[in-house]
Amino acid sequence: MTDERPVSVALENRLMSHGIYVNDCSPEGDDASVDDGTDLELEYETVAEAPVVTSDEVGAVVRTLLAVAEERNWTPGRLEATSLSTDGEVRGRWHVEAAWFDRLSADLSEVEFSQRVLETVSTGQER
């Protein structure tokens, strides 16, 4: 079953079950489909007790994005993510390079992919 809503809405709906609430996801628009390699900027709030980005939340976001991408038969571009507390404080930032998404099903193992993503995590004070 394919979710025909915009990617931002599909992510928002699915991430809520993880205690992750999407504030902004670009590109946005009325078009439910996106092209291969489309870059995404994601800003979300989480109810997590931790004052910094956790591997669990990164994993939830990436797995959810990959599930949406697989259903729609597209490959995301670079993902830039900013994690906020429910008070609006920046908990941290992280990203996934487009090439990592491309290589994930080819020559990059899931473990290697995860390690690369987690190495990009920065605290709220860093930019």
pLDDT beyond 90 at 80:
yes
At position 119, the amino acid (one-letter code) is E
For 7-123, CATH gives: 3.30.300
pLDDT band at 62 (very low <50, low <70, confident <90, very high): very high
Sole residue written with tokens 């991430």: 15
Which token pair is 7? 């990617």
**CA separation for the pair 48, 26 (Å, rounded):** 23
60/125: higher pLDDT: 60
pTM reported for the whole predicted model: 0.88
Instruction: Return the domain boundaries, the chain.
Output: 7-123
